[in-house]
Amino acid sequence: MRFLGTGAAETLPNPFCDCDVCAGIRRDGEQYFKRRSAFQVSDTLMIDFGPDVIGAAHQYGIDFCSLRNILFTHSHDDHLSFPNLSLVGMSQHRFQEPIHLYFSPEAFGWVCRNIAAYNPDFQFSLAEEGAAALRFGNGNAFRLHAVPCGVWFNVDEYRVKALRSSHPSWGEGELAWNYLILLPDGRKLFYACDTGRLLPETLQALKDAQVDILIMECTFGSRRLEKNCGHLDAYSFLETLEQFQSLHVIRPDTQVYSTHLNHKHTFTPLMLQRFFDRNSDIHITVAKDGEVIL
């Protein structure tokens, strides 16, 4: 498993910005630079496919020729890149089957309404309810799926459950999906990016999950946010961990990572790591681009 990006929509440092955070990151070094968030669960499964995944693939020497499935959290363009998806149609590699793309019903509807406007040459067609196909002239294709909330479904050798967050997105009534994933080796991964404060229904669904790996956004760092803003800061991140402990969502040995950091506050990634080290009994790793989880 590998983080292909750990920044928010602005990237870090923002090339158009000389604020204290961006300037501080430049001083701290390139190991703290952050592309827009994406996560590679394995060669066959990814979470999100945004504008920076191609650059990440080049840097880390990986390819997507074995990719079979992408779980999309939501339709914001730092998580979903039509141009990068279209590279499948420019490839000389022939996929034997369509690559499957999974969305919330609201994100699925938004994508179906907008994908043809990006490129009229896309061969897009609706299939049965909650499914669509996108074909390219080279024979490669995507199969799009709308997945329900709170129901386990199979993605090859993975078991996946989508859970609703409080983070609004482009689709009508769309709230980002968080994903609880049962890995082939029996471990559980919970990916919450973007999320905001978790809804009561989601906390209840996670009760006693005892996840092994937690990856959660900490977008606004030191900036204390309103409770209904759709993102987390460092303080609400810690409060969420306390909720998770009380509900047995996590264990003392759960691997916890923060991701999706922006610059609209005062913490560089290094400062955020020091804050967590001082203020949490649970070890939290501020994830770096390219970091691998074994």
pLDDT the model gives residue 7: 98
Q: How many CB atoms lie within 10 A of CB 98?
A: 16
Which position has the token pair 């609004």? Answer: 168
Tokens of 65: 């020729």
**Of 176, 203, 198, 187, the residue nearest 105 (C-alpha):** 176
pLDDT tens for the 294 residues of the chain, in order: 999 999 999 999 999 999 999 999 999 999 999 999 999 999 999 999 999 999 999 999 999 999 999 999 999 999 999 999 999 999 999 999 999 999 999 999 999 999 878 877 788 999 888 999 999 999 999 999 999 999 999 999 999 999 999 999 999 999 999 999 999 999 999 999 999 999 999 999 999 999 999 999 999 999 999 888 999 999 999 999 999 999 999 999 999 999 999 999 999 999 999 999 999 999 999 999 999 999
Question: 3-state SS of the chain: helix, strand, coil percent to 5?
Answer: 25, 30, 45
Instruction: Return the ∠ at Cα 122 (arms to 10 and 167), rounded to 5°.
Output: 35
Phi-psi region of 290 (alpha: psi -120 to 50; beta: other; left: phi over 0): left
Distance, CA of 160 to CA of 265 (rounded, Å): 34
Distance, CA of 189 to CA of 206 (rounded, Å): 12
**Of 233, 263, 223, the residue nearest 14 (C-alpha):** 263
pLDDT the model gives residue 174: 98
Give the DSSP per-residue string, 52-69. THHHHHHHHT---TT--E
All structural domains of the chain: 2-286 (3.60.15.10)
pLDDT the model gives residue 166: 97
pLDDT the model gives residue 255: 98
Distance, CA of 7 to CA of 11 (rounded, Å): 5
Q: How many CB atoms lie within 10 A of CB 242?
A: 12
Q: How many CB atoms lie within 10 A of CB 185?
A: 7
pLDDT the model gives residue 228: 83
Tell me whether residue 90 is exposed, middle or buried, using C-beta atoms within 10 angstroms of its C-beta: 0 to 12, 13 to 18, 19 or more.
exposed
Question: How do 69-71 and 188-192 pair as beta strands?
Answer: unpaired
Burial state string for 50-85 with b = 16 or more CB within 10 A and e = fewer than 16: bbbbbebeeeeeeebeebbbbbbbbbbebbbbbebb
- As separate numbers, helices (DSSP H) first and strands (DSSP E) second, the chain gives 7, 15
CA 254 to chain centre: 19
Strand partners, 15: none
Residue 79 sits at φ, ψ, to 5 deg, of -115, -20
Q: How far, in Å, are 8, 30, 131, 218, 245 from residue 273 at the CA level? A: 17, 16, 42, 11, 20
